[in-house]
Structure 1
Amino acid sequence: KSKSRVKTQPGYIRTLIAGLSRHQSRWRWIGVLGSCVIIIIAYGYGLHRILEFDPARNEGEVVVGYFQPSLEPAYDAYRNDRQYVAGAFNLFANLGLKTILTARGELDVLVAPESAAPFHSSAAPDTDSSAAWQDRQRELYSPTMHSILILLARYGRVDIVYNELTVAANHGYHNSITVMDAESAERTASYHKRRLIPFGEYLPGELESDSVLRPFFPEVSRYRPGDHALPLPIQIHRNPNRPARRRPVALPELRPETMTLLSDPAAVRARFPAPGRTSDEIDLERTVYFAPLVCYESLFPEYVRAFFIQRQRPVPALIINTSNDVWFGNFIEVYQHNAGARLRAIEMGRYMVRANQSGLSTIFDPLGRAVVPPLQPGERDVRAAAVPLRTEVTAYMRHGNFSVFLFTGIVILLMVIGLCYPSLRRPPVA
């Protein structure tokens, strides 16, 4: 009897395997159909977004101008190079004025790219702060940069969004996006870059004092990350609904001697006093908020999403990304960065203004399409366009990466099923 049991056991096993094998094709089809369902859902949602998108369904629009200076890389050795810095300031002023004139006085916002005025700040030393703090501010403050910003704001009656360095509370500095108001020609708000590049913008372990790595990497900046995803405001002093009949602003005369004042902010203010506003302009005035992104922060979806899910802060109506890819020349990294930033416009359902120091500079719509011909790497020029403001809530805003994790989990499960069940078809070893 014992021998007969031993002989019959392989028969039971073969019977079990045969039964499972009959169901193997069913599991294979489940895996195939499951994968098809995921693809259909993903492409179906994308098609739905495309078909439902209506450019006319917006909350008004703003006219945004930006320029691309295509400077040489701002190596640390250039920090005290007067010729390099003067050349950068000269391009900032001239391209800024060219942008204003290109828009024929209809510009609402002027965007300058990252490092358009390298190494410096427009924040004058705060006389109410400590002597040590004022000394740190003086290291960064440039009256020339400050004067140029006042000139552009007052001359074109535009809010200016620009990149600068600001003093951090601890050791180091912030890489910041700041807004200068057109009416007051004052800095109104700043956002500090939160995602820094290791060995590019900071050295690991370098917080209150220099890192032991500093002698080996002297070119690395001493930036400190910001703490908050802070939407920044811009004041629209003219009709945000922008009918075609809107009358352009009459630009004041710009005399050659005006350019000699660009080291004296007070003199520029006196030359271009705050413009008066009509009652219609006051009635139409409103504040628009945007999500500021410095350089490669645009590659991190959750960092961008953080601007849109804060209950106690206004929801941005557009995205502005100031960037600097001059280090990569005309190589693939420039195009990869641009493509990654494009995805953020799609995820958030917002127009994105992307001002790059050396290209690619463009404007993406909520479907990721470039609505303005991109300025190519190395090109030096300006662009201006009407940018619609949107307030829709997208699926990615609500759920973040949950759907990505869910679909990934389903795919892994289907892979496990496909890998495990075919092995049951193998005949047992005698």
Structure 2
Amino acid sequence: MIKKIDNLTKHLYGQLFVACILGAVQVFAFAPFEQWWVIYPTFVGFFLLQKQLQKSTRRYFLVSFIFSISSLIATLCWIYVSMDLYGGMPKIVSALLIVLLCAYLAIYPSLALWASTRLSGVSDTQRYLLLIPVFWLISDWFRGYVLTGFPWAYLGYSHADTPLVGFAPVLGVQGITLAVMVICGALTLLIQKQKIGLSLSVISALLISGFILQQQQYTIAQPSINVSLVQGNIDQNEKWKKEQLSPSLQKYSALSETGLDDQTELIIWPESAIAALDVNVQAFLQPLSADLAAKNKTLMTGIIGYESKTDSYYNSIVTLGKLPNQQLPQRQGYSLQSENRYQKHHLLPIGEFVPFEKLLRPLAPYFNLPMSSFQRGTQLQNNLQTEQVSIAAAICYEIAFPELLRKNIGEKTGVLLTVSNDAWFGNSIGPDQHLQIARMRAIEFARPLLRSTNNGVTAIFDASGNELGRLPVNVAAVLSKKIQPTFGQTPYQYAGSYPLYLYCLLVLLGLFLSSKYKKHKTKS
């Protein structure tokens, strides 16, 4: 068997085939499959494959690109569902657009893998344990930032149920990614029978450190509150039709009335549960808010905010019902002027704003989706307030940007909230990956997280990232649980990614100086 593989990888087409398979298999490391161990044989296999390519850096980039793009296509294929169902384009065009998106995203890891071969004077040990992990982190950061960023499927997300998750509250999800890449390098050295003692020590140190960190308590639990998340399961094809608004509101109201118990203090409706401008549904919101206040309940719901002075639209969350007693009139209850709201800052390209819209909008319905002309909310916003707790919010795609959320979490922020509408992606693997990402935020900031969606996956996690409950997809239902808000700060909340930036800088500087020293010594 090994001889057959060796024969296959002697030629370019065989190398590309093996790289494609290794990359595609990585999808199984992420939700809903969650086979985290898959990461290791795929990367080790690729590193061993690259040993045959070091004499040709062009071929190495090509093989790296195939490895990366196949991984991304397998992992992000769910985006095709929205294009196929709502794009109004031929299937072949939708598929081509997905390939082009993944080809662009694949440039970043491909450059990282290719660049790791360009620094001369670096030993295999330094390359596998230091250089490749650092370049991989840098490529992830660029992918998550350039052109508004797409920080999806970071390797660390696949390891939420392993000892390495202990690094998340200290260094964030990318701290786990770094540990994963270092272990991949150490395993490669072991298979090649190089630095066996060092490799075993590195793997053991990372696993033990992660386990110890996992046992630490970073925040202090507060008195519990009763929450209920309402999943309306509104048909996406009907959601934005004017005639559907009233039935949708009645459905959410009925679920909130019959699906809750008297103990519920906080009710959550998902993103754009009210598919209308707030100015147009005051006759519904004002009586609802007064009724909730009389019952000592608070409701947070997704809605479309509108500011007439600037003719601006915002993807928003507003708070109704019982609110904190404050002196300012605008904070005594719900109103159009109430500051107790959140406006989405990080908008989704195409879905919420269209770049080059004069060019793209006429091309296909996909570039003209409902409510695709939103304005950005400010980056720093006040927490949503109830009488029991302060809540840091993120709408849909924003939950994938931990640095954005980190800036809006204070020591007295007790709960994280994300509302979403993943009905765009049908029964694909996308919503499960989205939930996996949201769960990591609970672990990084050691706070309970509420995730309310239109049709799934609606779920609640505690401050350790343990699932307290979830609703099945494509059903109208209510999820009610008791949660404990937490106060305090995790190291990641305090310092963000700056320790990782410093680590990468020091590693690259050290390897550069070491390479220069070796060259100088050789010439001498």
Q: AA paired with 2:300?
A: V
Does residue 64 of structure 1 match 2:227? yes
What is the match of residue 355 of structure 1? 452
What is the match of residue 157 of structure 2? none
Deviation, structure 1 residue 378: 0.7
Deviation, structure 1 residue 315: 3.5
Relative distance call for 1:331 and 1:79 in structure 2 (3 A) is closer
Does residue 303 of structure 1 match 2:404? yes
- Corresponding residue to 1:384 among 447, 457, 480: 480
Deviation, structure 1 residue 25: 9.7
Deviation, structure 1 residue 88: 0.9
What is the match of residue 48 of structure 1? 212
Alignment of 1:105-124 (within 5 A): 105-121=262-278
Per-residue CA deviations over 1:180-222 (Å, capped at 9, x if unaligned) read 132665244111000001111112267xxxx454434332521
Q: Distance between the aligned counterparts of 1:346 and 1:41, measured in 2? A: 21
Q: Distance between the aligned counterparts of 2:499 and 2:208, measured in 1? A: 14
What is the match of residue 234 of structure 1? 385
Relative distance call for 1:408 and 1:172 in structure 2 (3 A) is same
Deviation, structure 1 residue 398: 1.6
User: Which one has the bigger helix percentage?
Assistant: 2
| Aligned partners of 1:178 and 1:190 also within 8 Å | yes
Relative distance call for 1:59 and 1:96 in structure 2 (3 A) is same
Structure ranking higher on relative contact order (CA contacts 8 Å, 6+ apart):
1
Question: When the two structures are superposed, what TM-score results if normalisation uses the length of structure 2?
Answer: 0.54
Deviation, structure 1 residue 167: 1.4
Q: Distance between the aligned counterparts of 1:332 and 1:26, measured in 2? A: 37
| Aligned partners of 1:338 and 1:360 also within 8 Å | yes
Per-residue CA deviations over 1:361-383 (Å, capped at 9, x if unaligned) read 111122222112x1122122111
| Aligned partners of 2:341 and 2:384 also within 8 Å | no
Deviation, structure 1 residue 117: 1.6
What is the match of residue 246 of structure 1? none
What is the match of residue 344 of structure 2? 193
Per-residue CA deviations over 1:249-305 (Å, capped at 9, x if unaligned) read xxxxxxxxxxxxxxxxxxxxxxxxxxxxxxxxxxxxxx5211011111110010110
Displacement over 6 Å in runs of 4+? 23-31, 33-38, 410-424
Q: AA paired with 1:89?
A: L
Does residue 393 of structure 1 match 2:485? no
Q: Matched residue of 1:94: which SS?
A: helix
What is the match of residue 343 of structure 1? 440
Q: AA paired with 2:231?
A: Q
Count of residues in Structure 1 that have an aligned counterpart in Structure 2: 321
Relative distance call for 1:85 and 1:288 in structure 2 (3 A) is same
- Corresponding residue to 1:161 among 300, 303, 310: 300
Alignment of 1:3-402 (within 5 A): 43-53=207-217, 57-73=220-236, 79-82=240-243, 84-100=244-260, 103=261, 105-121=262-278, 137=279, 140-151=280-291, 153-154=292-293, 156-168=295-307, 170-182=310-322, 186-187=334-335, 188=338, 189-204=340-355, 211-216=358-363, 217-219=367-369, 221-236=372-387, 288-308=389-409, 315-372=412-469, 374-402=470-498
Q: Distance between the aligned counterparts of 2:497 and 2:352, measured in 1? A: 28
Worse-matched range after superposition: 362-371 or 176-185: 176-185
Q: Distance between the aligned counterparts of 2:341 and 2:129, measured in 1? A: 53
Q: Distance between the aligned counterparts of 1:28 and 1:232, measured in 2? A: 44
Aligned-residue RMSD, C-alpha: 3.8
Question: When the two structures are superposed, what TM-score results if normalisation uses the length of structure 1?
Answer: 0.64
What is the match of residue 11 of structure 2? none
Q: Matched residue of 1:65: which SS?
A: strand
Deviation, structure 1 residue 231: 3.4
Q: Distance between the aligned counterparts of 1:308 and 1:179, measured in 2? A: 18
Structure 2 portions without partners, runs of 5+: 1-121, 131-194, 324-331
Q: Matched residue of 1:119: which SS?
A: strand
Q: Distance between the aligned counterparts of 1:27 and 1:80, measured in 2? A: 59
Relative distance call for 1:407 and 1:26 in structure 2 (3 A) is closer
Deviation, structure 1 residue 147: 3.6
Q: Distance between the aligned counterparts of 1:382 and 1:147, measured in 2? A: 22
| Aligned partners of 1:27 and 1:418 also within 8 Å | no
| Aligned partners of 1:34 and 1:414 also within 8 Å | no
| Aligned partners of 1:359 and 1:377 also within 8 Å | yes
Q: Distance between the aligned counterparts of 1:381 and 1:145, measured in 2? A: 22
Deviation, structure 1 residue 58: 1.0
Deviation, structure 1 residue 418: 11
Q: AA paired with 1:58?
A: A
Per-residue CA deviations over 1:19-51 (Å, capped at 9, x if unaligned) read xxxx97997999767777765665445423432
Q: Matched residue of 1:66: which SS?
A: strand
What is the match of residue 6 of structure 1? none
Deviation, structure 1 residue 341: 0.8
| Aligned partners of 2:448 and 2:484 also within 8 Å | yes
Max Rg structure: 1
What is the match of residue 164 of structure 2? none
| Aligned partners of 1:99 and 1:382 also within 8 Å | yes
Per-residue CA deviations over 1:313-357 (Å, capped at 9, x if unaligned) read x74111011111011112111111111111111111110011111
Q: AA paired with 1:295?
A: C
Q: Matched residue of 2:468: which SS?
A: coil
| Aligned partners of 1:120 and 1:142 also within 8 Å | no
Identity of aligned residues (%): 22
Q: Matched residue of 1:307: which SS?
A: coil
| Aligned partners of 1:346 and 1:368 also within 8 Å | yes
| Aligned partners of 1:174 and 1:193 also within 8 Å | yes
Structure 1 portions without partners, runs of 5+: 1-22, 122-136, 237-286
